[in-house]
Amino acid sequence: MLVLKDITKHYTGQVLFDHVTLPLSKNRTALVGMNGSGKSTLMKIIAGLEHPDTGSMVTKKHCLIEYLPQQAAYDFTGTVYEEVAAWRNSDRLNALREQEAAIVAKLESDPEADENLYDELSEVVEELHHLEVKERRKNPIETVLLNLGFEKETWDRPAKTLSGGWQMRIALARVLVREPDVILLDEPTNYLDIATIDYLAEWILGFDGQILLVSHDRDFLNRVVEETWEVFGGTVAIYRGNYDFYLVEKEQRIKVLARQREKQDAEIKGLQDFVDKNRYNAATAALAQSKLRQLEKIKEELIILPRMAPTMTFRLPPPKRGGDIVAEMQGLGHRFGDLKVIENYKRIITRRERIALLGRNGFGKSTLMNILGGEIEPTEGVCNRGKDIEISYFRQHEITLLPPDMTVIRFVESVAPFDMMNRVKTLLGCFLFYEDDWDKKIAVLSGGEKVRLAFIRMILNPGNLLLLDEPTTHLDIDSKEVLLRTLQDIDATIVFVSHDSHFINSLATSVVYFRGRCDMINFPGTYQEYLSVHGHDIIVEEKAKAKEADVSASKGKMDHALRKEMRNKLNKLKKDISAAQQEIEKREKEKTEISARLAQGTGDIALMNKRLARIDEELVTLMAQWEEHSQAFETLSKESGE
């Protein structure tokens, strides 16, 4: 159990968190918010890497928290296997066994020992049991490594010789092998392929600890999370559902806030008019001064509405019409030295197809893309492109070709066709470049902003065959939606590599799945339809499957006095759980009634908003109490056999 209490944090003059109190009450929670809102800072506070200006964090004893940042440098000294194996819990397990033995010895030698020893023993036994269950799993390291894309021949390679992306996978593997109590994941899917993301999602669903994660993969969030936290304006709003639930609920909340803001604006205008007309009139100056103070108070409490991403309303220039046969591959094969990646591949690509190239990294997706784009010649067979086919190829290194000293707006003007010059600003807005971004130099843009800018350059002069290699990397969810709508509307054939399942399912009409080197499936349907036929590409070895935990050893250590003590605790916890539940239901009912009145615009708006805020604070406390009692009850029930 983890609770943040009254957290305040300022950073470079900005208030990131203003007296925030909330519990991590669910096993799987998403953390969302605009870039710069404080998501990574909140994770670092929980991980103990940064400290709040005020407030504190409360966790259970022996709570192990692991944080995997979005990017990090690692000083690896061992092999891939050694670096992962070193993070098993052996040292922690031995220390807990010694602590348990010492407490039991004290209780046996002194029946009248301090009752606090029973509490301490209960905590140690709970933690020990938790770790012993993990240790009974035979060799999970192998399965984790295989599913994260490490082929067996790479396990003995020095970890420091791998690329940054593969080193991040090693860091992720260490976290999965260790299985701490709380895991903090900041964009864990950035360096993973579609099969690896499937495995990570399944692993998270089976994890019995708590996870707080940031991700720009919408389907991934919907698949794994139970709750969503949104960081905005110094607060953290809790939504009791996955990402899609959050979007619906947020829209409703914004509608209510917008109506309240309209009333505030009308009240401000009325007060300002009165002050302007009467402040210099001796007869009404005192009243005008009172109205001015009232006006200033409203402005201090002015509701700030979040900036919403625009929908795509821009008409893009159509590409040149090409032939109905875009490309035909016959007996296609390619090898790099002795390593063959594609063999005897056949495929005809027709006009306006949207083909997703999917599968694990290293199996030939980029090779096939480069053959289609004419970047390399196949070592076997042919790839014939159709009549009047013009290729636009988007690769990740495109962002390095942007002129760093040019401003955003000047760059887009320099690549836009003449007849579109008067619509450049509209186009920039559609791609989330707002007016305060236009004069920024490209050198200071984020990775996601550079990807959007490079994509604008491509679609302003598009070919009729678009080859897109990981176009969604570095993009947040709003940017991905803009990119997706653009590609859905464009009159071109698209072949793309992506690891974002929402993007894939929304765009692809067919799939080429790379199950292994020289093992490719042409599937005439969506990715979801492919999964319904072929399933997820997850590797499970018999020796790495988890066996049922044997809890008899732990139970056998409970003597009669300890069991009696635990029964008394269980009865008290039952009452505490029931009382907390009743209070939660009361607050939820009151909140629903007030929200309905706010939506209708009846009653004292300010008073009801204050009560809603107070209810949210009370619910946070009550939910924390309920969760704490429930977890304690479940643990004691297992240990006592009740």
Domain boundaries of the chain, sorted by first residue: 79-180, 248-300, 325-534, 561-640
Band of the pLDDT at 422, cuts 50, 70, 90?
confident
* pLDDT score, position 137: 54
Q: pLDDT (tens digit, 9 = 90+) per residue, 517-530? A: 999 999 999 999 99
* pLDDT score, position 226: 95
Cα–Cα distance, 544 to 147 (Å, whole number): 12
Which residue would you say has higher pLDDT here, 568 or 128?
Answer: 128
Q: pLDDT (tens digit, 9 = 90+) per residue, 134-172? A: 666 545 889 999 999 999 999 999 999 999 899 999 999
| pLDDT for 48 beyond 80 | yes
Q: What is the DSSP string of 494-556?
A: EEEE---HHHHHHH-SEEEEEEETTEEEEESS-HHHHHHHH-------GGGSPPPP--HHHHH
Mean local confidence (pLDDT), 117-126: 78
Which residues in 466-476 are b (16+ Cβ under 10 Å) and which e? Answer: bbbbbbbbbbb
| pLDDT for 230 beyond 90 | yes
Cα–Cα distance, 5 to 20 (Å, whole number): 7
Q: Quick check: 192 and 169 in contact, CB under 8 A?
A: yes
- When mean pLDDT is compared across 47-51, 105-109, 427-431, the lowest value belongs to 105-109
* pLDDT score, position 476: 84
Cα–Cα distance, 392 to 407 (Å, whole number): 24
**Tokens at residue 386, please?**
């159709």
481: helix, strand or coil: helix
- State the SS3 of 596-642: HHHHHCCCCHHHHHHHHHHHHHHHHHHHHHHHHHHHHHHHHHHHHCC
Q: Count CA within 13 A, CB hemisphere, residue 620.
A: 21
Look at the domain 325-534 and name its fold: Rossmann fold (3.40.50)
Q: pLDDT (tens digit, 9 = 90+) per residue, 281-315? A: 888 888 988 889 999 998 888 888 876 666 655 56
Q: Quick check: 234 and 54 in contact, CB under 8 A?
A: no
| pLDDT for 245 beyond 90 | yes
Mean local confidence (pLDDT), 76-95: 84
Q: Is 479 exposed, middle or buried (0-12, 13-18, 19+ CB in 10 A)?
A: buried
Mean local confidence (pLDDT), 95-119: 79
In 3D space, the residue among 236, 225, 220, 266 whose CA is nearest the CA of residue 52 turns out to be 236
Name the residue type at position 541. E
| pLDDT for 543 beyond 50 | no
* pLDDT score, position 59: 87
* pLDDT score, position 635: 66
Mean local confidence (pLDDT), 5-15: 88
* pLDDT score, position 149: 93
76: helix, strand or coil: coil
Query: What is the overall mean pLDDT for the chain?
Result: 85
Mean local confidence (pLDDT), 183-202: 93
Cα–Cα distance, 598 to 262 (Å, whole number): 13
* pLDDT score, position 263: 92
Q: Nearest 5°: CA angle at 55, between 51 and 56?
A: 70
Residues 6+ apart with CB under 8 A from 163: none
**Tokens at residue 25, please?**
């009450």
User: Token pair 């692993």 is at which residue?
Assistant: 203
Q: Quick check: 34 and 180 in contact, CB under 8 A?
A: no
Q: What percent of the chain has pLDDT over 90?
A: 49
CA torsion, ordered 267, 272, 273, 276, to nearest 10 deg: 160
Q: pLDDT (tens digit, 9 = 90+) per residue, 577-635? A: 778 778 877 887 887 777 777 766 677 777 777 787 788 777 777 777 776 777 676 66
13: helix, strand or coil: coil
Band of the pLDDT at 552, cuts 50, 70, 90?
very low
* pLDDT score, position 558: 42
